[in-house]
């Protein structure tokens, strides 16, 4: 569980005597202070102060929440109640109503709201202030019995659930039974008498479950409600959510409570309630996007109980209010310079804004709105860039359904959150979590989702609901998480108990595969192939703005010509790491590599390398051509060579099998049944066939000899710590012909390109270097081969020669290494391993999860660069390297090169480039821009 961090300020308050201000009216609260007032409270203050029609109310601060939660006896801090009463008086004056009054009662909502929006994760209570007396007053005043009892039953249920801990299901059962009795399908069909009866039964439910009558004193109700909302900060949902989204106490600490005069969207057909976005949050298009319900309360829209209407329909239903709503939309966006997600209520023809917050949008929408708002001068280009978190772009790499698929959809709902996903259906969040953990891909299928389903969202690939609109809980949460969602697919009947869903004639059982397309709203049976997304024009433009401000260049790690071409489409400005060993693994190449390894003499080894030379040359040529005139960093062979041979156990088993085959073949060879074949799968995965005759025996013998040789070699090459062993430059110096072949391949490819005037930029990089002398030796090979290639091709190959910095000693020797190298590239995978003495192969599966859970290490150092340890080594290396050679080009090619925080650190170190996997390139380009803009901002402070 996330621990509660009591700020020093809150701690002081516990000891403080003098009255402290915990409560702020909407007229006085500082709209910029979200930490103190929560996002919702701060915005209610700001909207009030810029003249928007917000119902009167006040905010109880997050300080009050933390002080309350830290108190031993769970009492509100001294002064809170007095300040609440004082503020309630002001609300009474502003509304002309009185709290607890039997004539014209004031009702309030008690809403949660922390510094960071956590939609639906904490509690809210509506219609507070109802009891037998005020009920009568409300009846006298509104003359609307149905409305009054509707408000009452909602209040009892919400208060019962949130403040008194009565399970929701108890109320739902009573409610459904009464609907059934009344013969109605939707709650709007219930009469005043039905609702009155439901209210009576609800009061009884509360008494049965809690053993006490429902509280009738309105200030007692208010105090209980305030505490309940504060408590919801440490509730499971909220804690899970904060953990999942890494919300630290520095980002949001405690929830504020907003007490707001109730306005009613369910006062008849001139009343309505709705939720809207100033732009389409799914696509980012500049259209008014929202939904509303006439004669309903706010929760009805988001809970998906009734399917709402698109906001545009209000234009015909209530034209002048639609006009006011359009004005509100535009005022909100120009004031906040951000797409707003706001709630409104129309009470008897008067429009109120109940809350606003920055719209949560998927990456597509963020990119489009950023670009369009910059073009419309609402934002500067830099503001547009800073609006998007770099990691968010990863969402754009989500797959889409292959447009060539021919599947007929089973059902259609609303396209509520784009992207496509396949998985097995599950019908409740707990099962989703369970099956999701069992490494199944799951799609959570629900009638509607509720905040308590959040763990099911985390576990699922996508969400499908049969009720609710594009602003339903399911849609909002899925969009925030970047997961596909189809909402309101009304043809689907979900039966949670039977773990199945019916769609017309079809029945889907738990475990059946479905595919959902959140871009079209279609639902399909089975798994449908997906394709990679393409870049939108807006994203391309945004990334060019990023490149204009970034100081770091962004390269890609790519090992073959296809990967290099792909990296180019992501905007890679070069290849920062080509791991040449990966070229050796192709099935037609591996046997040659094995031949080279098994060679007993230098001649034999050279013969094998001669076969590899043209293959490597062609690979290098293709990559250089694909990237020309961008740099391509080619790293000489790095891993220990035993990695190209099968394991010892595997070889031993093969030998047993081959010997057995030989006996069989010898036994039957007299039958001369040469048509029959014996099969043996060799350790390279290929199936070898041996005929049943003398020839077969001979071939098996040869195979046995080869395997025995391999086994012997495996024994010879065995090392206790191969990662610290005979690899990298050490290998290159013991078997010079291997590196020489690779250097020749690079330089010949370069010369061939240069001869036809193609500007290629190879950079030869040596791995695992720990001393300058190693570099001197390899450089000598390079010079020798360069002279030969020059003579042979009559051109001077142009290239750079540099080193990886991935060994601690290399950092310490950076000055000496810089004398020999034109560039450094930090291999932070190995450097992290070496600095921590954590095996990069095992740590992440063994103890790092525990270290993260217990906060022993804040981040996984293989994911996020450890600036305190590894970073300090890098700093020293940069300093000493550049002291020796001021124009030394320095980059990073470990996994950290694509991680935004690490990229910021590389920028601060003054590196020239980062290199990461192709799909991370857009993320890195934006992160590099953020790093520059962050620096500029700090400089101007
Ligand atoms: C590194 O060590 O960071 C690196 C890039 O090399 P490899 O991952 O291939 O060891
Ligand atoms: Mg390495």
**Is any atom of ligand 1 closer than 6 Å to the C-beta of 582?**
no
The continuous run of DSSP H or E covering 617 comes out as helix 602-627
Same fold, 8-261 and 407-531: no
- Please, which residues have CB within 8 angstroms of residue 699's CB and are 6 or more apart in sequence? 690, 691
934 annotated among ligand-binding-site residues: no
Class (C level, CATH) for 8-261:
alpha beta
Q: How far apart are the first and last CA of the chain?
A: 37
Q: What is the DSSP string of 702-750?
A: HHHHHHHHHHHHHHHH--SSGGGSS-HHHHHHHSHHHHHHHHHHHHHHH
**Is any atom of ligand 1 closer than 6 Å to the C-beta of 816?**
no
pLDDT in tens, 920-930: 899 999 999 99
Q: What's the pLDDT score for residue 678?
A: 53
Beta strand pairing call for 420-426 and 442-446: parallel
Give the residue whose CA is nearest to atom 6 of ligand 1. 827
**Is any atom of ligand 1 closer than 6 Å to the C-beta of 830?**
yes
SS3 sequence of 808-822: HHHHHCHHHHHHHCC
Q: Which atom of ligand 1 is nearest to the CA of 894?
A: 3
Q: What's the pLDDT score for residue 684?
A: 44
Cα 831 to averaged position of ligand 2 atoms, centre (Å): 8
> What is the pTM for the complete model shown?
0.75
On the CB side of 849, how many CA atoms lie within 13 Å of its CA? 4
Ligand nearest the Cα of residue 893 is 1
The answer on pLDDT for 300 being more than 80 is: no
**Is any atom of ligand 1 closer than 6 Å to the C-beta of 118?**
no
Percentage with pLDDT > 90 across the chain: 66
Q: What's the pLDDT score for residue 29?
A: 97
The answer on pLDDT for 845 being more than 80 is: no
Query: Do 60 and 257 touch, CB atoms closer than 8 A?
Result: yes
Cα 808 to averaged position of ligand 2 atoms, centre (Å): 12
**Is any atom of ligand 1 closer than 6 Å to the C-beta of 335?**
no
Cα 639 to averaged position of ligand 2 atoms, centre (Å): 9
Task: Give the confidence band of 57 by pLDDT, cuts at 50, 70, 90.
Answer: very high
Q: Distance between CA 577 and CA 632 in Å, rounded?
A: 7
**Is any atom of ligand 1 closer than 6 Å to the C-beta of 638?**
yes
**Is any atom of ligand 1 closer than 6 Å to the C-beta of 265?**
no
**Is any atom of ligand 1 closer than 6 Å to the C-beta of 559?**
no
Closest by Cα among 16, 3, 139 to 67: 16
Q: What's the pLDDT score for residue 427?
A: 95
The answer on pLDDT for 28 being more than 70 is: yes
Which range of 520-529, 620-629, 665-674, 707-716 scores highest in mean pLDDT? It is 620-629
Ligand nearest the Cα of residue 914 is 1
Q: What's the pLDDT score for residue 12?
A: 59
The answer on pLDDT for 13 being more than 70 is: no
Ligand nearest the Cα of residue 831 is 1
Percentage with pLDDT > 70 across the chain: 92
Q: Which CATH architecture has domain 272-361?
A: 2-Layer Sandwich (3.30)
Cα 854 to averaged position of ligand 1 atoms, centre (Å): 28
Positive or negative: CA dihedral 411, 415, 419, 425? negative
| Averaged pLDDT, 286-314 | 84
Cα 836 to averaged position of ligand 2 atoms, centre (Å): 15
Give the residue whose CA is nearest to atom 8 of ligand 1. 829
**Is any atom of ligand 1 closer than 6 Å to the C-beta of 805?**
no
| Averaged pLDDT, 515-539 | 88
Give the burial class of 139: count Cβ atoms within 10 A of its Cβ; 0-12 exposed, 13-18 middle, 19 or more buried.
middle
Cα 892 to averaged position of ligand 2 atoms, centre (Å): 11
829 annotated among ligand-binding-site residues: yes
Q: What's the pLDDT score for residue 298?
A: 73
According to DSSP, residue 76 is labeled P
Cα 806 to averaged position of ligand 2 atoms, centre (Å): 6
Q: Which atom of ligand 1 is nearest to the CA of 825?
A: 5
- Least reliable range by pLDDT among 151-160, 214-223, 471-480, 891-900: 471-480
Q: What's the pLDDT score for residue 674?
A: 39
Query: What are the backbone dihedrals phi and psi of residue 915, each rounded to the nearest 5 degrees, phi first?
Result: -130, 135
**Is any atom of ligand 1 closer than 6 Å to the C-beta of 828?**
yes
Task: Give the confidence band of 672 by pLDDT, cuts at 50, 70, 90.
Answer: very low
Give the residue whose CA is nearest to atom 10 of ligand 1. 830
Q: Which atom of ligand 1 is nearest to the CA of 767?
A: 6
Q: What's the pLDDT score for residue 683?
A: 46
Task: Give the confidence band of 118 by pLDDT, cuts at 50, 70, 90.
Answer: confident
Q: Which atom of ligand 1 is nearest to the CA of 895?
A: 3
622 annotated among ligand-binding-site residues: no
- Which residue would you say has higher pLDDT here, 668 or 81? 81
- Which residue would you say has higher pLDDT here, 587 or 268? 268
Q: What's the pLDDT score for residue 686?
A: 46
| Averaged pLDDT, 825-849 | 89
Q: What's the pLDDT score for residue 14?
A: 54
Spans of all domains in the chain = 8-261, 272-361, 407-531, 550-640+725-829+864-917, 644-718
Residue of 894, 911, 915 best suited for mutating to test ligand 1, as the one with most atoms within 8 Å of CB: 894
- Which residue would you say has higher pLDDT here, 342 or 566? 342
Residue of 584, 633, 638 best suited for mutating to test ligand 1, as the one with most atoms within 8 Å of CB: 638
| Averaged pLDDT, 286-309 | 82
Cα 732 to averaged position of ligand 2 atoms, centre (Å): 15
Looking at the DSSP assignment, which residues form a beta bridge with residue 319? none
The answer on pLDDT for 282 being more than 90 is: no
Q: What's the pLDDT score for residue 450?
A: 78
- Which residue would you say has higher pLDDT here, 701 or 214? 214
Class (C level, CATH) for 550-640+725-829+864-917:
alpha beta
The answer on pLDDT for 786 being more than 80 is: yes
Q: Which atom of ligand 1 is nearest to the CA of 830?
A: 2
**Coil, strand or helix at 169:** helix
Sequence-distant contacts of 140-144: CB under 8 A, at least 24 apart: 140/103, 141/103, 141/104, 141/105, 142/267, 144/267, 144/268
Q: What's the pLDDT score for residue 49?
A: 97
Looking at the DSSP assignment, which residues form a beta bridge with residue 889? 823
Query: Do 347 and 294 touch, CB atoms closer than 8 A?
Result: no
Q: What's the pLDDT score for residue 40?
A: 95
Q: Which atom of ligand 1 is nearest to the CA of 638?
A: 9
Q: Distance between CA 931 and CA 936 in Å, rounded?
A: 9
**Is any atom of ligand 1 closer than 6 Å to the C-beta of 746?**
no
**Coil, strand or helix at 233:** helix
The answer on pLDDT for 232 being more than 90 is: yes
Give the residue whose CA is nearest to atom 9 of ligand 1. 579
- The pair of three-digit structure tokens given for residue 584, joined into one six-digit string: 């050796």
The answer on pLDDT for 2 being more than 70 is: no
The answer on pLDDT for 941 being more than 60 is: no
- Which residue would you say has higher pLDDT here, 390 or 713? 390
Q: What's the pLDDT score for residue 240?
A: 87
The answer on pLDDT for 668 being more than 60 is: no
Rg of the chain over Cα atoms, rounded to whole angstroms, equals 34
Mean pLDDT, the chain, whole residue set = 90
Closest by Cα among 263, 323, 313, 265 to 289: 313
Cα 799 to averaged position of ligand 2 atoms, centre (Å): 22
**Is any atom of ligand 1 closer than 6 Å to the C-beta of 33?**
no
806 annotated among ligand-binding-site residues: yes
- Which residue would you say has higher pLDDT here, 119 or 110? 110
Cα 727 to averaged position of ligand 1 atoms, centre (Å): 12
Q: Which atom of ligand 1 is nearest to the CA of 557?
A: 5
**Coil, strand or helix at 935:** helix
Closest by Cα among 223, 352, 258 to 298: 352
Q: What is the DSSP string of 442-462?
A: EEEEESS--GGGHHHHHH-SE
pLDDT in tens, 153-171: 999 999 999 999 999 999 9
Ligand nearest the Cα of residue 825 is 1
- Least reliable range by pLDDT among 177-191, 526-540, 681-695: 681-695
pLDDT in tens, 466-494: 987 776 778 867 765 668 999 989 899 99
Q: Which atom of ligand 1 is nearest to the CA of 833?
A: 2
Q: Distance between CA 704 and CA 529 in Å, rounded?
A: 44
| Averaged pLDDT, 840-861 | 84
Q: How many helices (H) and strands (E) does the chain have?
A: 34, 35
Looking at the DSSP assignment, which residues form a beta bridge with residue 762? 632
Q: Where are the alpha helices (DSSP H) in 628-724?
A: 648-668, 694-717
Task: Give the confidence band of 673 by pLDDT, cuts at 50, 70, 90.
Answer: very low
Decide which of 3.40.50.300, 3.40.50.620, 2.60.120.650, 3.50.30.10 is the CATH code for 407-531: 3.50.30.10
Q: What's the pLDDT score for residue 740?
A: 97
Give the residue whose CA is nearest to atom 3 of ligand 1. 827
Give the distance, in angstroms, between the CA of residue 439 and the centroid of all CA atoms in the same chain.
18
Residues taking part in catalysis: 473, 893
Sequence-distant contacts of 435-439: CB under 8 A, at least 24 apart: 435/459, 436/460
pLDDT in tens, 310-350: 999 999 999 999 999 999 999 999 999 999 999 999 999 99
Give the residue whose CA is nearest to atom 4 of ligand 1. 827
Task: Give the confidence band of 406 by pLDDT, cuts at 50, 70, 90.
Answer: confident
**Is any atom of ligand 1 closer than 6 Å to the C-beta of 39?**
no
280 annotated among ligand-binding-site residues: no
**Is any atom of ligand 1 closer than 6 Å to the C-beta of 882?**
no
């Amino acid at each position: 569980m996330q621990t509660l961090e009591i700020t020093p300020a809150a701690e002081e308050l516990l000891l403080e005597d003098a009255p402290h201000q915990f409560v702020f009216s909407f007229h006085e609260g500082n709209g910029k202070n979200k930490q103190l007032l929560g996002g919702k409270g701060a915005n209610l203050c700001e909207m009030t102060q810029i003249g928007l029609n917000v119902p009167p109310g006040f905010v109880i601060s997050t300080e009050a929440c933390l002080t309350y939660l830290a108190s031993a006896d769970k009492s509100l801090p001294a002064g809170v109640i007095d300040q609440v009463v004082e503020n309630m008086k002001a609300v009474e004056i502003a509304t002309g109503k009185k709290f607890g009054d039997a004539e014209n009662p004031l009702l309030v909502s008690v809403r949660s709201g922390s510094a960071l929006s956590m939609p639906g994760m904490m509690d809210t209570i509506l219609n507070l202030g109802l009891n037998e007396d005020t009920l009568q007053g409300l009846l006298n005043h509104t003359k609307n019995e149905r409305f009054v009892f509707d408000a009452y039953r909602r209040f009892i249920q919400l208060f019962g659930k949130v403040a008194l801990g009565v399970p929701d299901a108890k109320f739902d059962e009573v409610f459904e039974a009464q609907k059934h009795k009344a013969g109605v399908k939707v709650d709007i069909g219930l009469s005043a008498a039905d609702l009155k009866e439901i209210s009576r039964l609800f009061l009884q439910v509360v008494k049965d479950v809690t053993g006490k009558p429902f509280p009738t004193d309105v200030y007692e109700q208010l105090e209980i409600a305030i505490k309940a909302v504060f408590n919801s900060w440490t509730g499971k949902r909220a804690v899970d959510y904060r953990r999942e989204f890494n919300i630290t106490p520095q980002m949001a600490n405690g929830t504020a409570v907003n007490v707001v005069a109730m306005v009613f969207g369910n006062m008849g057909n001139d009343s309505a309630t709705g939720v809207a976005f100033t732009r389409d949050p799914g696509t980012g298009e500049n259209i008014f996007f929202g939904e509303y319900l006439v004669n309903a309360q706010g929760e009805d829209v988001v809970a998906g109980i009734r399917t709402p209407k698109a906001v545009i329909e209000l234009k015909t239903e209530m034209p002048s209010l639609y006009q006011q709503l359009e004005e509100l939309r535009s005022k909100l966006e120009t004031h906040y310079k951000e797409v707003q997600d706001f709630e409104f209520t129309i009470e008897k023809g008067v429009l109120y804004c109940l809350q606003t917050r920055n719209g949560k949008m998927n990456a597509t929408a963020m990119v489009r709105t950023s670009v369009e708002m910059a073009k419309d001068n609402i934002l500067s280009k830099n503001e547009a860039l800073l609006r998007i978190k770099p990691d968010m772009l990863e969402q754009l790499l989500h797959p889409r359904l292959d447009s060539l698929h021919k599947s007929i959809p089973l059902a259609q709902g609303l396209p509520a959150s784009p992207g496509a996903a396949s998985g097995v259906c599950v019908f409740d969040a707990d099962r989703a979590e369970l099956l999701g953990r069992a490494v199944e891909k799951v799609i959570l299928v629900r009638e509607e989702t509720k905040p308590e389903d959040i763990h099911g969202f985390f576990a699922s690939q996508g969400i499908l609901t049969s009720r609710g609109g594009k602003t339903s809980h399911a849609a909002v949460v899925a969009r925030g998480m970047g997961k596909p969602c189809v909402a309101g697919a009304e043809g689907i009947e979900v039966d949670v108990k039977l773990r199945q869903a019916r769609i017309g004639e079809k029945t889907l059982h738990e475990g059946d595969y479905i595919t959902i397309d959140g871009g079209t709203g279609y639902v399909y049976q089975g798994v449908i192939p997906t394709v990679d997304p393409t870049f939108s024009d807006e994203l391309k433009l945004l990334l060019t703005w990023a490149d204009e401000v970034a100081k770091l260049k962004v390269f890609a790690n790519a090992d073959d010509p296809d990967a290099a071409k792909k990296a180019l489409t992501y905007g890679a400005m070069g290849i920062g790491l080509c791991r040449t060993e990966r070229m050796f693994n192709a099935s037609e190449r591996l046997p040659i590599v094995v031949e080279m390894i098994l060679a007993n003499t230098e001649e034999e080894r050279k013969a094998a390398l001669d076969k590899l030379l043209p293959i490597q040359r062609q690979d290098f040529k293709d990559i250089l051509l694909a990237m020309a005139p961008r740099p391509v960093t080619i790293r000489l062979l790095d891993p220990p060579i035993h990695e190209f041979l099968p394991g010892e156990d595997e070889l031993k088993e093969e030998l047993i099998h081959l010997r057995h085959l030989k006996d069989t073949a010898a036994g039957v060879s007299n039958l001369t049944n040469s048509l029959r074949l014996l099969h043996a799968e060799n350790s390279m995965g290929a199936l070898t066939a041996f005929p049943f005759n003398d020839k077969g025996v001979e071939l098996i013998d040869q195979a046995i000899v080869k395997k025995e040789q391999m086994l012997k070699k495996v024994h010879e090459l065995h090392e206790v710590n191969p990662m610290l062993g005979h690899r990298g430059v050490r290998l290159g110096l013991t078997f010079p012909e291997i590196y020489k072949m690779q250097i020749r391949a690079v330089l010949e490819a370069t010369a061939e390109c240069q001869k036809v005037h193609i500007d290629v930029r190879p950079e030869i990089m040596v791995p695992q270097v720990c001393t300058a002398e190693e570099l001197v030796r390899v450089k000598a090979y390079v010079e020798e081969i360069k002279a030969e290639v020059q003579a042979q091709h009559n051109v001077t190959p142009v290239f750079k020669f540099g080193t990886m910095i991935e060994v601690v000693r290399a950092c310490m020797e950076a000055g000496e290494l810089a004398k020999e190298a034109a560039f450094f590239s930090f291999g932070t995978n190995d450097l992290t391993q070496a600095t921590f003495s954590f095996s990069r192969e095992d740590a992440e599966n063994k103890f790092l999860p525990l270290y993260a859970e217990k906060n022993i290490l804040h981040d996984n150092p293989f994911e996020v660069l450890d600036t305190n340890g590894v970073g300090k080594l890098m700093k020293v290396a940069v300093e000493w390297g550049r002291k020796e050679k001021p124009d030394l080009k320095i980059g990073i090619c470990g996994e950290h090169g694509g991680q935004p925080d690490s990229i910021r650190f590389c920028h601060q170190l003054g590196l020239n480039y980062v290199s990461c996997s192709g799909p991370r390139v857009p993320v890195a380009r934006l992160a590099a821009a953020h790093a520059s803009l962050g620096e500029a901002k700090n400089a101007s402070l």
